[in-house]
Each structure stands twice: as C-alpha cells, then as structure tokens.
Structure 1
C-alpha cells in the first residue's frame, strides 16, 4: 500500500546566509550560562549481577500520564510507562547515541536524502500474539502522521509516502531531506503498535495499548495507578525479571521520598532538589543523576485561541502583540540566582532550547540575556503599558514548582511585572497548553537528542505542538533549512540563527534546565535514566541476596 500525505508548505527560496538577523539581535548583553557540576550516575544494566526472578516493583510516579497513545500523547510520564510496554524503532543509549531497538541498523539514506530505508527485526510478536513486521510499522507511522490530534505529525518531516517492502523493510519517502528522522523515531514517533489492536480500538487505543516490550498493559485507575505485567511473548523475555510493575501516582515529592525510605515503593522519579543531598547520603538508597536534553520555562500565549496547530489568532494584549513586553519579562529574570536559590544548585540556568554539552551547543546558542530589570522597565515604558504589568501564570500544584514560581514572581516585580499565580494539576496544564486557555504557563519539555525535536515542534507555524500560537516566517525558514541539510556544521550555524530569532520574540521564555533525579532502593538493580528523561525499568530486577 502507498500512503500519501500532503507535504508541508514548500520552503521559500531563501539563501540562508542572507537571512537578515541584524534586526533579530538583542541590544542587551549576554552572559554565558554557569554550569553546576554533579557527578552523573545513569545506572547500569543488570549484566552478570545475580538477581532474583519475579517480584512486583512499585514506582512512585510524580504525575498521572495523559492517555497511553503514542500518537496523541504530550506527557513525559507517558514515556516512562510506555518504555516498558512499547518499544521503538530506535533508542538513545547512556552516551547519547542513537541505537537500533526494533530496527536492526540505523536508517540508510539515499544519495539525494529523499528515501530512508529501515531494516526491521524478524520473529517478533506483539503482546496480542500478532506479528511485528513492516506492515505493522507502516500502519503505526501512517497513524502518527494522519490521526486527528496527533502530536507526531510535525516531528517526522515532509513525508510523501511509506512503503512496506517485504516483511522486514520499511521505506519512507520525502519531498525534501529530513535529517532529524532517526532521532524522531527514537521517541514516540518510533513506537510501533499492534495493527490488529489499532483496527479494533481505533481512537481508543490509548485505553488498552498493545505493543511489543518487556511488559504488557494490564490496567489503569486514572489518577491512582497503572499496572503492567511481564510479556512472555517478548523477544528478549529471558532478560525480563519482574512479574509486574505498578506505577503509583504520587505528585508530592516528600511523600515519594518518605515512601522510598519506608519501603512501600522501590523507585521514584523527579526527586526534589531539597531532598537530593539526604537521599544521596542514605545507604539504603541510590540516587541516579543525569543531565537533560530538555528545558523548563514558560509559554506565553501569543495567538493560540482555537487550539495548538489551528490558524494563529493573535490575542489583543500588549504581552501578545508587543515583543518588547516579552523581552522585558525575559530581562527581569536572573536565571542563575533563581536556580541557586530555588533548587540548591542541583539544576542549571537555561535561556535557549539547545542543551549544553551536546553536539550543537555553542556559546552563541546557549547564552543568556543579562539580567537587567532597569532596561526591562524602559522597554515597558516604550511599549506604553502601565506598570506593574499584570500577567496570570498557571503553574503545577506541587511544592517545588510553586516555590520556584513564587520566587520568580518576586524577581520579575523588579522589572515592572505583577505575576499572578494560579496552581493547577498537571493534566489541567496539558489541556490548557493544547487548548490555548492560558496567558502564561509554567511547563517544560524533557528534550530530544536532535535540536529539531526541541524547537520545530513548538515554534513552527501550524505545528500541533505550537502551544504559544507563534508564527515567524523567518524562523520557519531557518528551521526548515536546518532540518533539510545533513551537514552538522551548517545545521549548527542555522540553529545559532534560530536562537537569535527566538530571543527576539520570546514566545517561550527558557529559565532552567533540570537534572534528572531518580532514587531507588538498594534492593533493586538495573534501573537506568538517560538524558532523555525516561526512567527505564523494563529489565531491572530485585537483587538476589535480599528478601522481599
């Protein structure tokens, strides 16, 4: 079968080197981000360690995921659960490299970059017993591209067709080369679903997901728990040890820490920096620490009135209409001081979507604007707005986020802003960002290895993840060229230009970059957490020399 999709709008005939960025350059100085150093501990595989077969692991999960549907999900916490039940074509390893998972090798690109060939594993079955093959891969990729409400469409590039060539090869056809596709297929766009389950469940697939993985879905009590059980049909079942994993929803970080110490849970994600030192010192626990490809900060609603991905309708407010107001807000934030105070130095300041210590990171595309509240006030005066200028910000109703938001509130007051905080549950924040029912919204992104996954999804005109309702023809062109060239040097230069454009308009204000803090009992081994943020439990186990 040949699947056809209308390509994204043709790239403008633009000589990228001639992009006029003089207007995009900010008049204020920049400072280089100071990186706080903590020793990384990603965990390690079970390997040859003696472990006990069986047992029931309980993880304290910091937020309730959205629907367990790889096509429509936008939640990090969904990725935790799906990492055990829904493998991808590719994955990241501990070193940040892309490696095959359900594929058998990295994709082969044609000389013109328009054809991408992916070889697949053979002899693999989904949890329902149906075969994993090229037809199933084709069906999943088509769904990611065409399902109404899919969050994956823009991540996969200008695809014109997908072919299953025999049972073990899939070919993707493009209208223009798309360099980030391998990285996209190492995330939810690469999760492959049972074709039979897709036909049976349709849009309700996320209520009863069926994929291939170490575990399979058993049940969910929304707001309470998700249970997965060992899948005997998994192709590497001999390296799966737990009988079940229960993800217990526990939004309060202190409650998760107390439950770890009591033994009622054995692993917990997103530990509070306030507890990190004590957890690290506890001999019964192990604290896993890793950097992040992602970023934290806040969306500013510029033109999202009808929902993300719908045509932009600019809001009639100074914050939405005048970039000077948004720039003033950015200049009112001392990112380093805020991180040090709010997070005890465990997190890092951030001002751009480019993660430090990655291949595209340069001083030009990771630097922060100088904290300058006096200039912020001048910009507000130039914009003709009364001060203090009020902004309503929705923030997750958990202690770390509320504490941070309150300190942010006090800080931006020096620049002429009256930040009004509205606590909300995580699910409500996800709905607000998609529907555009917010003015400012404090919410981050777990990050992707390729910069395209951290920028284009959120800031390209018409993208389903463009939650700010932002539209910039200049940025669209720069990001388009960056995606369609395979030269790392050229891509790096283009992302520097993209950052300059983003910092001119500030549709999203980047403020900090967390470090993934995951704690687990010393009764458990084989848990791993990489810079992509996902906690990997699929092949972990209880150690053999302990009871329980």
Structure 2
C-alpha cells in the first residue's frame, strides 16, 4: 500500500479539546523563554558509576526508536545513526555535558592562524583502527577529502570552503581556506570528524556503510535490516581497559509503548526517545532511571518550495500557492499555538521553538528568540489577501510513530481555525528520509537533533543547493548572510548576523519551527556510565553492569 494515500482527518474529540485549550491572548511576537525558565526539572545528562564496582563483560540491548540510515559518516543524515556510530566511530572532537568542545582523536583543540584561514589539528599517537591500520594524518586527510568530494556527501557544507588539506607530518593535519570558517571545530565534533579506516575505504568505497571500520570502543558486527545492529568490544581500542561490555545490540523498536514495556521486562536495558505519555510511570519505577536534557535542535514543518530534482540540485518551479506565496506559510504559522501544542501533546516535556537557534546558547538574540503569537484571525486575513480559497488543503508527510501522529493530529485540529485543512500522510521513518531527499512531499514534519554551532542548524538547510536543503529554498540574501556569519570572528558578531538571516527566513518560512524536544532516555539501574547530551546522542561507549546488586538498590534510593 502506498502510505502517501492514507489520509487521516480529524483527531479524537479529547485531543482536539486539549490542543485548543491553551490560547495566547497577546498579539505580535513574544520571546521564547530559556528552557530552565519554563521547566521545573533540571537536566540530568549522566548516570555514572561513582566508584561502584563494575562487572567485566556482558551484553546490553538498547531499544532504538527508529532504524538508522546507512552507517557512513560521509552520507548519513539520521540521529539514530549517530547513536550507533558513537560507539564505533570516534571523532576528532566531541562535546561534553556542558556543551564544551573537547578533543577525542585530536590531541588538542586546533591552532588557528592567518586570520582564521589556516586550521592546524594535532593528532593523538598510538591509536589503531579496528582493522589494525594505524590512525595517522594520512587517514584523517583521506576521510576529510572524501567528505568534500563524494557526490552524495552530506558533510561538504559542514567542512566549509576548504581549499587544501595537507599533512606536514604523521601527527598533524592542516586545513586551508581562502576565507575564515569559524564553525570548523564544531563540525569536527560531529559526523564530519568521524575518521574512517583507509584500508576499509579503499576496499569498500561507496559500500563502506555496509561494514564500517573506524576507531571506537566497539566495532561493527552485523546489521539485520529493520531489526537490529550489533557491535562488539574492539580489543585494539586505545582505551580497551575502560570498556566493560562485550557486546551492544541496538534493537529497532519504533513503538514507544513497546520500548517502555521491553525496558520494564528486562528485554532491553536502555531506551531512547521515551514518550511523554510513558515518562511519568517510568520515573515511578524504582528499578529504572531516566536522563533528560534539552535539545539544541528543533522539530518543525518544512515546505517544498523548489525541490523538484532532489536535494542539493538547483531549485525548480512548484506551481502551487503554498510554494509560491509566503503569505500562506505565514498564515500557517499564525494558526499554530505552540504553547498549547507542547502542553497537550508532550505534557510540557518540550519547549516552543521559533528558530533554529536555541535560547540556551550564546548565539541567541532577540531576533532568534522572537515568536509570532497564535492569531488565526490574522491567518484568515492573509489567506483572503492572497486570494486563495479556504480551507487551504496541505498534505503533510510524517513518520508513523504514535507520538508523531498525536502531534500531526493536534496540528490538524489547530490550524483548521486559521483556514487550513491538513491531510496526514504517515510513512516509515526511513521512507520519510527518502521522500524528503527526492522532494516527494508538499509539507513534511521532521526535525534536527541540533549542533552547538548555529552553522550546523541553519546553513545546510537554507543555503541554496546545500545537501540538507530539502525545501529547495533559495534566497541570495540568506546565502550571503549565512556565508558571512561563518567567516566572522566573535560570538556576538556572528549571532547578530544569524539574527539578520533569521529575519529574512521569518518572512519566507521554508521551515516553520514548532518546538524543542527534551531528550528522554530511560535505563535499568543495573547499568551505569550512560550519557545523553544536548546533541541528542545516547552514549554507551563506557556503559557497564554494576557488579554488586546492593549498588542497584542504592541507586534506586537516590532517585534521578
């Protein structure tokens, strides 16, 4: 069955009432509040052993909420791929619980010279890939050049306009630019910094993702499509003595209720993306613990404005009022009550969002924090001004998970008052990624897990012909501002330029931002050394079982 033709009209009456219950009364824009101002629960990013005796060995299963895409750092685009890659493909840099960049495979933070046009990266010594190959400057060079030159690379925009990659010696890599590129260190703390084995790249080429080989506490074993991915401890890992588990299996369990049930039954020991519908009873279970942290990313609705030939290609013509006239997209945003959405669908386990820049970051400005109020009357006026017949019908493609369908139904009910009729087209998550890249959608509900530098949240999505610009959006002013922001020195200066770009984007609205999730991870108290940071990634590289059952009971008594 073609799921694009499955259309759901009208939520249940109780959901409709909840979605419309909380309505803001003040017109205009109001600032989005930092997460701490609107939530009572503080972030909990780690569960750590704190001196408890750990069990050597054992197998851990994690319930994963969606199937990862290809396990290739150059081409992948899924958050869930990052979960798996985090255990098998370390990066030049990483972030910590405080969102600070720290060296991982690099020996130190980069040295920047020539006014930001030369970036020197020192590398750690004594490291080997899982296949026994030495980790050195030549390996880093080969990976980074692949990011820049591979036709289907999703990393090229993250690397910036590199003109040359050189290796003065085995432990040093130098990136050269004609213009400064401030986000490069943050980019190398994500997939762009995952270094792949040269031998595996030479042997597998485009098929590297079928059997990836990197540096990591674990190494890839097998993948059963739509079922599981298994990794095992790598004895060649430079910190192998710190790795307790023998094996991790990522089990694909897309239904949040089933994930939670599997956790309580002991079938899995960790689950990601806990549903707000389940979190309360999981928190009451003394055998379980939870991690929660605000997101640097967002969830939103992307409109197809020109993606006719696939993502990254020159935009084509889509001859519909929704694609042609920004007043329709502005009206759509005015039809949304973000506070009501967060309250009704997510039980306040999320925060409203109106831009790609989190108010909790130093790059936040009045421009990025401004949030148009719910105003369905103004929405109807804009639609009348645009000369379109109401209700305006929109087909919105969404993933077919229960939480996403609840969100879609709440949106469906909410925007009706503003003159829109949403037809919900649910598909599997992997199908959703494929459709967005092909441009096979009118509107798409999807999000981004977030990066610590705004470049990673904006550039690829709104600059012409970039690999994540699934909207097919193109505006010369936005292109210029986004390029300039990446070249400027100083956080405040860059923040102002991003704010200028956001002002333009707010008029064009290729993406209507809705909310920021709270990343909710639940785990059995039998295990420890698990982390979830604001980049959304669940880190299991040092996870272990507690050796003493009394430690489990003590942890239960401490709460979250």
TM superposition score category, shorter chain reference: over 0.9
SS at match of 2:238: coil
SS at match of 1:298: strand
- Cα offset, 1:314, TM superposition: 2.6
The answer to whether residue 296 in structure 2 is matched with residue 293 in structure 1 is: yes
Equivalent residue number for residue 493 of structure 2: 490
Contact 2:291 2:522 in 1 (8 A): yes
- Cα offset, 1:45, TM superposition: 4.1
Q: Deviations over 1:467-494 (max 9, x none)?
A: 0000011111111111001121111111
CA distance in 2, matches of 1:413, 1:219: 47
Correspondences of 1:287-366 after superposition (within 5 Å): 287-366=290-369
The answer to whether residue 65 in structure 2 is matched with residue 69 in structure 1 is: no
CA distance in 1, matches of 2:53, 2:499: 48
Equivalent position to 2:260, from 246, 249, 257: 257
CA distance in 2, matches of 1:56, 1:93: 26
Moved more, 495-504 or 327-336: 495-504
The answer to whether residue 455 in structure 2 is matched with residue 452 in structure 1 is: yes
Q: Deviations over 1:170-225 (max 9, x none)?
A: 00011110000000000000000000000000000000000000000000001000
CA distance in 2, matches of 1:521, 1:356: 32
CA distance in 1, matches of 2:47, 2:279: 20
Q: How many residues align?
A: 521
Equivalent residue number for residue 191 of structure 1: 194
- Cα offset, 1:46, TM superposition: 3.7
CA distance in 1, matches of 2:52, 2:184: 36
Moved more, 517-526 or 35-44: 35-44
> RMSD value over aligned CA atoms?
1.1
CA distance in 2, matches of 1:458, 1:71: 17
Equivalent residue number for residue 556 of structure 2: none
- Cα offset, 1:141, TM superposition: 0.2
Equivalent residue number for residue 172 of structure 1: 175
CA distance in 2, matches of 1:104, 1:83: 19
Q: Deviations over 1:294-315 (max 9, x none)?
A: 0001110000010110011031
- Cα offset, 1:98, TM superposition: 0.4
Q: Deviations over 1:426-481 (max 9, x none)?
A: 00110011110000011000000000100001000110110000001111111111
Equivalent residue number for residue 387 of structure 1: 390
- Cα offset, 1:33, TM superposition: 2.2
The answer to whether residue 98 in structure 2 is matched with residue 99 in structure 1 is: no
- Cα offset, 1:49, TM superposition: 2.5
TM-score when scaled to structure 1?
0.94
Correspondences of 1:419-458 after superposition (within 5 Å): 419-458=422-461
Contact 2:32 2:359 in 1 (8 A): no
Equivalent residue number for residue 9 of structure 2: none
The answer to whether residue 36 in structure 2 is matched with residue 33 in structure 1 is: no
The answer to whether residue 512 in structure 2 is matched with residue 509 in structure 1 is: yes
Equivalent residue number for residue 58 of structure 2: 55
Equivalent position to 1:275, from 278, 292, 313: 278
CA distance in 2, matches of 1:77, 1:307: 23
Which runs of no fewer than 5 residues in structure 1 stay unpaired? 1-27
Correspondences of 1:236-255 after superposition (within 5 Å): 236-255=239-258
Contact 1:46 1:540 in 2 (8 A): no
Equivalent position to 2:129, from 122, 126, 130: 126
Equivalent position to 1:466, from 469, 473, 497: 469
Q: Deviations over 1:107-126 (max 9, x none)?
A: 11103211100000111000
- Cα offset, 1:367, TM superposition: 2.1
Contact 2:367 2:500 in 1 (8 A): no
- Cα offset, 1:32, TM superposition: 1.8
- Cα offset, 1:361, TM superposition: 1.5
Equivalent residue number for residue 111 of structure 2: 108
Contact 1:45 1:539 in 2 (8 A): no
Equivalent residue number for residue 397 of structure 1: 400
- Cα offset, 1:47, TM superposition: 5.2
Equivalent residue number for residue 214 of structure 1: 217
Equivalent residue number for residue 523 of structure 1: 526
Moved more, 256-265 or 46-55: 46-55
Contact 1:86 1:191 in 2 (8 A): yes
CA distance in 2, matches of 1:45, 1:439: 45
Equivalent residue number for residue 93 of structure 2: 90
